Amino acid sequence: MTGPRVVLVGGGHAHALTLRAWARDPAPGVRLSVLSPDRHAPYSGMLPGYVAGHYAWADFHVDLAPLAAAAGAELVLDRAVGLDLAAGRIARAGGPALDFELCSLDTGSTSEPPPLPGHDAHLHPVKPIDRFLDAWHRFLDRVAAGEVAPRAAVLGGGVGGGELALAIAHRLEAAASEAGVTLIERGPEIAAELRVAARRRLRRALAERGVVVRTGTEATAFAADGVATTAGDTVPAGFVTAAVGARPAPWLAASGLAVTADGFVKVDAQLRSVSDARVFAVGDVAHLTANPRPKAGVFAVRQGPVLHAALRAALADATPPSYTPQRDYLRLISLGAKRALALKYGVVAGGTGPLGALLWRLKDRIDRRFMADLDLSG
Ligand SMILES: Cc1cc2nc3c(=O)[nH]c(=O)nc-3n(C[C@H](O)[C@H](O)[C@H](O)COP(=O)(O)OP(=O)(O)OC[C@H]3O[C@@H](n4cnc5c(N)ncnc54)[C@H](O)[C@@H]3O)c2cc1C
């Protein structure tokens, strides 16, 4: 086939939905490729539930193979390592570069703090999720074998870090009686982005679960027995993770695309790079210049169908549609056990009580429905 080639780089939420939309409405004569290091892409909204022990691995992984097949796309199992704009080519780690007429970037972000001593051996940031899960499973095995104490630490007291600390505490308590989890935050307060009432409920959930919260504290080194801190002590932990804000891969900035100071790809209202009309970017990796938003999966999800329409329009030399992100969204924060907090328009509901149990069921239903829509394996 010699039609134009469209390459979707990364199998994140937005691209999975783009494939779904493409399967329903394909562009004749177009060669579509998806480049993803793994056939299965994790859905982070259900990750804390998996860590807590509420879900199986398959529950929160999107199988890209049937999605790609339905869309008539070639699934290339590899990782992009560079973007050569002059040649219109994506370099990959394990094979020949892919030429493109149009490409879209949905490679997400990582949550790694700047490296400190012991980082490589003893820190397991939550993203990339596959690497986090490998380390988490190894740790659980060692806890089960009695080789290591059921103690963990989480760096980063944002909402993601709080959810993760609660999930880990829930899981470890089920595995052993003397579990201990510490949440380490360098700022004066955890979940600083939340309003006071929501923050208070998150704090209460952490306290009820026995998670120790250390604010105004930074890690200085990692070792097999825990995290050394700026307070001069060591937080005991056989497993240390981090959820310290999103960072994009450095090869994006190196490509010469217009990026923000921290390396996110600047896109216009059509999700198109402001510096190169052949390149689209969606999800965490994109910076919406017209309507900046925090990094959250809900935006990636809404962008999927818009990206499909935008690519179709670009292929037809038409003007792609505009994407306007929602101002606010229903935020459901899981609390370790099957409980959740709900936030919208500044109002907070739920927590560790009966309403929280109801909200967990709502979150569970929304998440499972999302996964079911992307499951073409049957
Ligand atoms: C613990 C935790 C809980 C969260 N919970 C929520 C929540 O409840 N609601 C919410 O809205 N947001 C949540 N988030 C934020 C959410 O994870 C992100 O905003 C969302 O995943 C972004 O989706 P994405 O499509 O940009 O990328 P991702 O879903 O991260 O997907 C990126 C994909 O690209 C692939 N990839 C990476 N590099 C390359 C490469 N070089 N070449 C090819 N492929 C590559 C990866 O393997 C991955 O599959 C949470 C985050 C964390 C850490």
Helix then strand count (H, E) for the chain reads 10, 22
Confidence of residue 327 (pLDDT cuts 50, 70, 90): confident
Determine if ligand 1 sits within 6 Å of the CB of residue 41. Answer: yes
At residue 143, does pLDDT exceed 90?
yes
Across the range 290-298, mean pLDDT stands at 91
Q: Which of 71-85, 174-188, 359-373 has the lowest mean pLDDT?
A: 174-188
The residue whose CA is least distant from atom 17 of ligand 1 is: 44
**Residue 55 CA to ligand 1 centre (angstroms):** 18
Could you give the angle at which helices 354-374 and 13-24 cross, rounded to 10 degrees?
Answer: 50
Q: What is the dihedral of CA 8, 13, 17, 19, to 10 degrees?
A: 30
pLDDT value, residue 363: 98
User: Is pLDDT at 1 greater than 60 in this prediction?
Assistant: no
Distance 230 CA to ligand 1 centre (A): 30
Tell me: the pLDDT tens digits for 226-272?
999 999 999 999 999 999 978 899 999 999 999 999 999 999 999 99
**Higher-scoring residue by pLDDT: 199, 115:** 199
Measured between alpha carbons, how far is 18 from 281 in angstroms, rounded to an integer?
12
Span 28-33, mean pLDDT? 95
Q: How far is the CA of 291 from the centre of ligand 1 (A)?
A: 20
Phi, psi of 208 (to 5 degrees): -60, -35
Beta strand 180-184 pairing with 31-36: unpaired
What does the pLDDT look like over 148-195, one tens digit per residue?
Answer: 999 999 999 999 999 999 999 999 997 766 779 999 999 999 999 899
Distance between first and last Cα of the chain: 29
Judge contact between 52 and 337, C-beta under 8 A.
yes
Nearest to 123 by CA among 47, 224, 212: 224
Cα-to-centroid distance, 185 and ligand 1 (Å): 22
pLDDT of residue 2: 75
Task: Identify whether the C-beta of residue 218 lies closer than 8 Å to the C-beta of residue 185.
Answer: no
Q: Which of 165, 213, 158, 216 has its CA nearest to residue 186?
A: 216
Phi, psi (deg, nearest 5) at residue 288: -80, 100
Q: Which atom of ligand 1 is nearest to the CA of 12?
A: 31
% residues pLDDT > 70 (the chain) = 99
284 in ligand 1 pocket by Cβ < 6 Å? yes
Around Cβ 26, how many Cβ atoms within 10 Å?
Answer: 15
Tokens read off for 66: 């049937």
Q: What's the rounded mean pLDDT across residues 288-295?
A: 92
pLDDT at residue number 314: 95
Spell out the domains of the chain, with CATH numbers in brackets.
5-109+246-315 (3.50.50.60), 119-245 (3.50.50.60), 328-378 (no CATH)
Residues 45-56: pLDDT tens digits?
999 999 999 999
Ligand 1 lined by 107 (C-beta under 6 Å): yes
Is the minimum distance from the CB of 300 to ligand 1 under 6 angstroms? yes
Cα of 15 from ligand 1 centre, angstroms: 11
CA of 109 to the centre of ligand 1 (A): 6
78 pLDDT exceeds 60? Answer: yes
- Binding site membership of 9 for ligand 1 (Cβ less than 6 Å): yes
Average per-residue pLDDT in the chain?
95
The per-residue pLDDT for 115 is 86
Mutate to test the pocket of ligand 1, among 33, 76, 107, 362 (most ligand atoms within 8 A of CB): 107
What pLDDT is attached to residue 113?
A: 82
